[in-house]
């Protein structure tokens, strides 16, 4: 059931300023095919608690809400709150008992998004909370370049390690893996899976042997 269908329910309380649709088994708000009547665009209070909403698509219709209750629904993604566009008017928001509230930064995200919010899930939004949220946002912006540079350095280091690993395997293939294992006590299961590295046709050891071939032949002739 959608909210449009339920507008005429006997239990629905609808005026030009308030719409109460709690406990109505609503699964979605409204669709393009069944848009909300224009007379409800000026709503200030909307109650949609204890339903089965998993999306807030369609909430963009309300641009002047002061009070919104969407608790006890099935909202999973915190990005669903982006459909609430009444940022400058919303004063009271209830989202409790939705999975999205498990997000570790849920309260910080909501308080940042709605600058006029006075109550969130029944808890007053104090000036101190806003200061903490603001300082956290500033700190996040200040450390992002540092985090980015660390990621770049880590990427370059990983690339260099990969090059060194390849060169080390080529080195083992040229001088003989068994000889190195015996001399340096290297584990027998040293990973040398690539045929080219292990001395297969065209590999490093094969090329080395072909290059040394003439020298060995000349040495035998001299003797």
Q: For residue 56, what is the domain's CATH number?
A: 3.80.10.10
Q: What is the pTM of this model?
A: 0.60
Residues 186 and 101 in one domain: no
Residues 87 and 171 in one domain: no
Identify the pLDDT of residue 222: 47
Quick check: is 222 in a domain? Answer: no
pLDDT digits (tens, 9 = 90+) for 64-95: 999 999 999 999 999 999 999 999 999 999 99
Distances (CA, A) of 15 to 20, 62, 85: 9, 14, 21
Picking from 168, 158, 166, 170, the residue whose alpha carbon sits closest to that of residue 205 is 170
Residue ranges making up the domain that contains 163: 132-212
Place of tokens 């669903």: 80
Residues 94 and 164 in one domain: no
Picking from 70, 113, 120, 55, the residue whose alpha carbon sits closest to that of residue 92 is 120
Residues 116 and 145 in one domain: no
Residues 79 and 21 in one domain: yes
Place of tokens 């939004």: 125
Identify the pLDDT of residue 94: 97
Quick check: is 220 in a domain? Answer: no
Identify the pLDDT of residue 217: 47
C-alpha 32/C-alpha 38 separation (Å) is 13
- Residues in the chain, pLDDT under 50: 10, 192-200, 202-204, 207-208, 217, 221-223
Residues 61 and 115 in one domain: yes
Structure tokens at 157: 């280091």
């Amino acid at each position: 059931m959608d909210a449009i269908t339920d507008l005429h329910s006997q239990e629905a309380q609808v005026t030009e300023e308030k719409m109460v649709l709690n406990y109505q088994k609503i699964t979605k708000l409204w669709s393009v095919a069944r848009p909300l009547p224009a007379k409800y665009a000026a709503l200030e209070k909307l109650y949609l608690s204890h339903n089965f909403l998993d999306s807030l698509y369609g909430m963009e219709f309300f641009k002047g809400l002061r009070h919104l209750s969407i608790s006890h629904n099935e909202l999973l993604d915190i990005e669903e709150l982006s459909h609430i566009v009444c940022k400058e008017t919303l004063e009271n928001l209830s989202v409790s008992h939705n999975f999205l509230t498990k997000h570790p930064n849920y309260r910080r995200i909501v308080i940042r998004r709605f600058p006029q919010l006075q109550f969130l899930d029944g808890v007053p939004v104090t000036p101190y909370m806003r200061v903490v949220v603001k300082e956290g946002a500033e700190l996040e912006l200040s450390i992002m370049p540092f985090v980015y540079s660390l990621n770049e350095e880590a990427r370059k280091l990983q690339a260099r390690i990969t090059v060194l690993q390849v060169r080390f395997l080529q080195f083992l293939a040229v001088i003989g893996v068994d000889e190195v294992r015996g001399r340096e006590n290297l584990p027998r299961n040293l990973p040398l899976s690539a045929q080219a590295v292990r001395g297969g046709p065209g590999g490093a050891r094969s090329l080395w042997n072909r290059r040394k071939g003439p020298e060995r032949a000349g040495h035998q002739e001299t003797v």
